[in-house]
Amino acid sequence: MISDNEFFKNFSLLQEQLTVLAEQSGRKSDEIRILPVTKNHPFDAVDFCGRAGLSAVGENRVQEAAEKREQVAEKEITWELIGHLQSNKAAQAVEIFDRIQSVDSLKLARRLDRIVGERGKVLRCLIQVNTGADPGKFGFLEEGFDRNFEALCGCSHLQIEGLMTIAPLEGGKETARPAFARLRELADDMRRASGLALDELSMGMSGDWPEAVAEGSTLIRVGSALFGARTY
C-alpha cells in the first residue's frame, strides 16, 4: 500500500488531468466526479479518501466492504457496489451499500426490489450494460435493452439514477471509446422512453477514463491510478 503522501500526489495529478481533459471535451470538470475504488486495498485507502474530502468509495465485494465500513463513522463515507452481486448476498448488500452500480440482470433487480420493498426502503442504483458485448463481463446487452429497461422501471423500490459500463478488456482505447459512446446514446434513448432523469453515466477507469470523459462520463471509477497496483 502506498503512503498518504503518494496518494495525495496521485489525487491532485488526477484532478489536474481531469480539468484539462474536461475542457478539451468542452465540458466543465465539476460535471465529472471521481469515485475512488478501494477494493483489494487495506482500510487506509478509505481513510485517505476521507481526508481528501472524497465522500464515496467503490468496492466490489460485499464482505470486504462490510469489514471496512465498520471502521468508519456513520455517514462519513458512502459506499458504492461496482462488482457483480450474487443473489444470496443481495440482502446483505442492501444493508451495506448506499448505491449499487452493478444491477446486471432482471433477476437480480427483482430480488433487490423485493428485499428493499419489504424493508420499506428505496435503493439507489445504476444499471450495468455490457456495451462492448465482452463475453467475460456481466451486464445487460444492448440488444433488447429497451424491453429490459421497461421491466426495470417496473421495480418500484429501485431508484434508477443512470447507467454503468466497463469497457471490453481487449482492444484498448479504440474499443473503449465506442463502448462509452454507446452507453451515452443508450441513456439518451432510455431517458426519452422512460422520462427518468438518468443523469449518472458511470464509465471510465484508470486506463480509459479520458475516453470516457470525452464521451460524457459523469463518474469515473479510479483505483490503481490513485492507490497503486492491487495485491490480490
Binding site for ligand PLP (CB under 6 A): 37, 39, 60, 82-83, 166, 205-207, 221-225
Q: How far apart are CA 82 and CA 90, in angstroms?
A: 13
Minimal distance in Å, beta carbon 192 to ligand PLP?
27
The nearer residue to ligand PLP, 194 or 224, going by C-beta atoms, is 224
Pick between residue 195 and residue 231 the one whose CB is nearest to ligand PLP: 231
Grid cell at residue 71: 471502521
Q: Which is nearer to ligand PLP, 130 or 158 (CB)?
A: 130
* CB 41, min distance to ligand PLP, A: 10
User: What is the phi/psi pair of residue 162, to 5°?
Assistant: 165, -160
Residue 75 CB, nearest approach to ligand PLP (Å): 24
Q: CA torsion 196→214→174→184, rounded to 10°?
A: 10
Q: How far is the CB of 73 from ligand PLP (least distance, A)?
A: 25
Q: For ligand PLP, which is the closer residue by CB, 10 or 116?
A: 10
Measured CA to CA in angstroms, residue 192 lies from 14, 79, 94, 128, 196 at distances of: 34, 29, 29, 19, 8
Q: Which is nearer to ligand PLP, 94 or 166 (CB)?
A: 166
CB of 206 to ligand PLP, least distance (A): 3
Beta bridge partners of 201: 163
**Least spacing, CB of residue 194 vs ligand PLP, in Å:** 24
Closest of 136, 155, 229, 142 to residue 181, by C-alpha = 142
The contacts of residue 130 (CB under 8 Å, 6+ apart) are 104, 137, 138, 139, 140, 141, 165, 166
**Residue number with CB closer to ligand PLP (60 or 217):** 60
Cβ proximity to ligand PLP: between 75 and 232 the closer is 232
Q: How far apart are CA 210 and CA 160, in angstroms?
A: 25
Residue 189 CB, shortest distance to ligand PLP, in Å, is 23
Residue showing the smallest CB distance to ligand PLP in the complex? 223
DSSP label at 132?
T
Q: Are 225 and 35 in contact (CB under 8 A)?
A: no
